Amino acid sequence: MTFRTRLSAVPSWLALCAAGFLLAGCSSTKTDPTANWSPNKIYSEAKDEADGGAYDKAVPLFEKLEGRAAGTPLAQQAQIDKAYAQYRAGDKAQALATLDRFMKLHPASPAIDYALYLKGTINFNDDLGMFAWLTRQDLSERDQKAAKESFESFRELVTRFPDSRYANDARQRMNYIVNSLAQYEVHVARYYYKRGAYLAAINRAQIALADYREVPALEEALYIMVLSYDALGMNDLRDDTKRVLTTNYPQSRYLAQGFKTKDDPWWKLW
């Protein structure tokens, strides 16, 4: 029996089944509803989704627009809007990647100041979480990598674009970050002191004094050093540090009251 003969012997029902599978596969292919849309219509639909809070639906529309309108200002706008939608959808890593790509591809874009501001804001809010207000956790008690990256973005913004509409807010956030970074060092120093690791407490407090200027946390840093030197029996260093503390903070509440206590937890407000 030849190959042709064997092929012709395949039952007709099997051939029909095969044809059916092929048709089913073809019919399951999804059609693109935006195939005949203009770039402006895609952008309008994407903005409507984002404005309505449907950021997960807006992102793929912005991505389509990037391809359809490549090389145009509308594509640049889509990229920026996509980064914001990714951020609001909770995909911060992708939002930051989108912003980095935007700034690399369009270094002369008039939206660079906003890209820097958005990048700084994403890192500024990193890991706060929606329930942070319940625990009253502040920036000084969290990992500082994102805070430092946020500061760098804001610093580049105010340096390159001092008159930007976002510059004033960026400066205020920078002040908060600097205070919090100093407070973080003091937070760690206090942790070491309360556990009897006095040398570690002194070293951490000295980092705050060396790296930061004119921030509120330095008062407590000096106080921790006074206590730690006292606990180690280093009386000369204790007295020298205390003189620095009283000279710079003549009304120091730490010398009068000790460590400040945290506010009552949220559940005691009622």
> Tens digits of per-residue pLDDT, 176-221?
999 989 998 999 999 999 999 999 999 999 999 999 988 999 999 9
131 band by pLDDT with thresholds 50, 70 and 90: very low
DSSP assignments along 138-169, one per residue: -GGGS-SHHHHHHHHHHHHHHHH-TTSTTHHH
What is the per-residue pLDDT for 125?
79
Using CA atoms of 34, 40, 43, 49 in order, give the dihedral in degrees to the nearest 10: -70
Q: 166-183 as b/e, with b when 16 or more CB fall inside 10 Å?
A: bbebbeebbebbbbbbbb
Is 97 within the bounds of a domain?
A: yes
Is 60 within the bounds of a domain?
A: yes
Is 177 within the bounds of a domain?
A: no
242 close to 219: Cβ distance less than 8 angstroms = no
| Cα–Cα distance, 76 to 69 (Å, whole number) | 9
| Domain count of the fold of the chain | 1
Coil, strand or helix at 265: coil
pTM for the predicted model, two decimal places: 0.73
| Cα–Cα distance, 48 to 129 (Å, whole number) | 26
Can you give the residue range of the structural domain that contains 68?
37-122
Cβ neighbours, 10 Å, residue 238: 18
Rg of the chain over Cα atoms, rounded to whole angstroms, equals 30
DSSP assignments along 223-253, one per residue: HHHHHHHHHTT-HHHHHHHHHHHHHH-TT-H
Nearest of 133, 77, 78 to residue 110 by alpha carbon: 77
Model confidence pLDDT, tens digit, residues 52-84: 999 999 999 999 999 888 889 999 999 999 999
The distance from CA 100 to its chain's CA centroid, rounded to whole angstroms, is 13
Q: Angle at Cα 144 formed by Cα 245 and Cα 96, nearest 5°?
A: 145
Query: The CATH number of the domain where 67 resides is what?
Result: 1.25.40.10
Can you tell me the mean pLDDT for 90-102? 96
